[in-house]
Amino acid sequence: MNTDQKNNITKASFNESVTKKSISTPIEWSKLGHVEVIRRWSQELNEAVEKKFDLDAWSLVGHAIIIVHDDVDDCRNIIERVAYDLALEFVNFDDMTILKNLSSEDVFVEFDKPTLVYLEPGLWMQNLDDVDGHKDEIISSIQKNICTLVEKFNPECPVIYATSTAELSCLSPEFRKVGLFDRRFELIKPTIEEIAESFLEALGKDICGESLNAHLNKIGKLLELDFDNKRRKELVLLKLKRIAKRNNRKVEFADLLDISLQGTGEFDAYPVQSEESLRLTAIHEAGHATIAIIDSEGENMPEFVSIIESKTYNGVVADSLSYHYKKNNRKSYADVRHQIRVNLAGRVAEHLMLGSEHVRVSSAKDDLEKATNICFEMFATCGVSDDMESFNGASANLNIELERNSPSNLFKLETMVQQYLKKQYEIVYEMLNKNKNILDMIVDQLMKNKVLDQRDLFYIVSLLKS
């Protein structure tokens, strides 16, 4: 078999395995997020194709681009939109196609029309130092072949390659060179309100209740915190549509909040606990709620508190989403300390109201694990000390040891965490003791109603402080 025959076979088998897509209804630019920078590139690309730029002019437009964005579907849709607007052929290579067809030494790929090729991110793009030893030769061959394809750019029949990555460091430096993937577009994330608006549009305005339409910031923050990828959002949307259909009503914010706490599964109600068990749960959850309110000076007024058992909890306190929205991921030391105090407050409330010998042994296990992890992160990587409230203490832990697993460093961190949690526990005890009227009222109301929402909590606090 001669070389031409072999090349023709390789080309045929390769072209059979790739996806050429005819785009009849592309997604509108307005629904693709903050992509103005790519629209401007699209205009440059259009001019280059129409005016038949030479190689020097094409080098400024770019033969291959990188989109820094964490959603593969979004990136594919963006490249599809560009191809549609410019009447270019669009071809999609998924990771398996690339691994299967681009590792051979005699790869021969040719397109007979101006084409936009999207290479879905995957193992093929990684730095060889990060690849399993059994696959490094395959990945090395693929990378050389892709570089060759890009370098063979022909302005008479331009083929432009695009790929995407959540982090630029995930793309091998071999590709990030002039003449290869030398143009990079970094997409900024949508705002909280934009996340919410997109979600409600997908849900359908006809089944959105008033509480959903009135709280875009809360919805957006909840989606960001608990449903941060497309797969999970789609499951939530389907669950909400089923709720609307089954109950013949519009869905409300409470439905979305319930899904965030219990997931999208469906199950029967759990048997009601005994009065004694309910009271123990009420004391624990009231402790969390009281400290959330008092330690934040009312800003973190929980969305709701419940002592109704489910598959995921015996009781629950849902933080104020408006509080988290206001912080917008810009947390201060005081904000992180607040998280720790809220996590400790369930155990402390049991201590205060039942006595230390009668606290439930395992009721605070998850809370203490969260508090401990927060402390380790804060002390080990953020330069925060266990005495940030004093002038000298604020500068007492600035020497961050890069090798965190050394015995001496672990001992230092464990000592700091234990001392800090002990100090915060004592502070929370005094805060609950001082505000025991609020704690008692929340416990009593939980025993009567089983669930308290934000309005109930506002009322309790205003009543007792008036």
Q: Are 10 and 3 in contact (CB under 8 A)?
A: no
- What CATH fold (topology level) applies to the domain 3-186? Rossmann fold (3.40.50)
Closest alpha carbon to 25 in 71, 73, 77, 75: 77
Whether residue 266 is predicted with pLDDT greater than 80 in this model: the reply is: no
pLDDT of residue 174: 92
Burial class (CB in 10 A: 0-12, 13-18, 19+), 428: buried
Whether residue 249 is predicted with pLDDT greater than 50 in this model: the reply is: yes
Closest alpha carbon to 353 in 424, 274, 420, 290: 290
119-135 burial, b for 16+ CB within 10 Å, e for fewer?
Answer: bbbbbbbbeeeebeeeb
- DSSP for 43-101, please give it: HHHHHHHHTT--HHHHHHH-SEEEEE-S-HHHHHHHHHHHHHHTT-EEEEE-HHHHHHH
Residue labelled with tokens 């989109």: 67
Instruction: Tell me the Cα Rg of the chain.
Output: 29
Measured between alpha carbons, how far apart are the two ends of the chain, in Å?
94
Cα–Cα distance between 186 and 59 in angstroms, integer? 20
β-strands 115-119, 89-93 pairing: parallel
Q: What confidence tier does 101 reach under pLDDT thresholds 50, 70, 90? A: confident
Whether residue 189 is predicted with pLDDT greater than 50 in this model: the reply is: yes
Burial class (CB in 10 A: 0-12, 13-18, 19+), 460: buried
Cα–Cα distance between 200 and 194 in angstroms, integer? 10
Catalogue the long-range contacts made by 93-98 (C-beta closer than 8 Å, 24 or more residues apart): 93/18, 93/19, 93/117, 93/118, 93/119, 93/120, 94/19, 94/120, 94/122, 95/120, 95/121, 95/122, 95/123, 95/124, 97/17, 97/18, 97/19, 98/122, 98/124, 98/142, 98/146
Whether residue 238 is predicted with pLDDT greater than 90 in this model: the reply is: yes
Q: Are 148 and 179 in contact (CB under 8 A)?
A: no
**Per-domain residue ranges of the chain:** 3-186, 192-262, 275-465
pLDDT of residue 226: 85
pLDDT of residue 137: 86
Residue 149 tokens, joined:
């394809």
Q: Are 138 and 181 in contact (CB under 8 A)?
A: no
Q: Give mean pLDDT, residues 355-373.
A: 94
Using one digit for the tens of pLDDT, what is the confidence trace for 10-57? 444 445 555 555 556 788 998 899 999 999 999 999 999 999 999 999
Q: Are 339 and 374 in contact (CB under 8 A)?
A: yes
Whether residue 414 is predicted with pLDDT greater than 70 in this model: the reply is: yes
Distances (CA, A) of 325 to 34, 236, 300, 317, 329: 21, 21, 11, 17, 8
Q: Cα 318–303–343 angle (5° rounding)?
A: 30
Q: Give mean pLDDT, residues 190-197.
A: 90
Q: Are 294 and 431 in contact (CB under 8 A)?
A: yes
pLDDT of residue 111: 86
Q: Give mean pLDDT, residues 195-208.
A: 92
Q: What confidence tier does 411 reach under pLDDT thresholds 50, 70, 90? A: confident
Can you give 229-261 as a three-state secondary structure string? CHHHHHHHHHHHHHHHHHHCCCECHHHHHHHHH
Whether residue 465 is predicted with pLDDT greater than 90 in this model: the reply is: no
Q: What confidence tier does 229 reach under pLDDT thresholds 50, 70, 90? A: confident
Q: What confidence tier does 6 reach under pLDDT thresholds 50, 70, 90? A: very low
What angle in degrees, to the nearest 10, is found between the helix axes of 192-203 and 230-247? 50
Q: Which residue has the higher pLDDT, 133 or 393?
A: 393
Whether residue 401 is predicted with pLDDT greater than 60 in this model: the reply is: yes
Q: Which residue has the higher pLDDT, 108 or 82?
A: 82
Task: Give domain 275-465's CATH number out of 1.20.1260.10, 1.10.375.10, 2.170.190.11, 1.20.58.760.
Answer: 1.20.58.760
Residue labelled with tokens 């020097």: 56
* Residues 6 or more apart whose Cβ sits within 8 Å of residue 288: 302, 305, 317, 342, 343, 345, 346, 349, 367
Q: Give mean pLDDT, residues 296-308.
A: 92
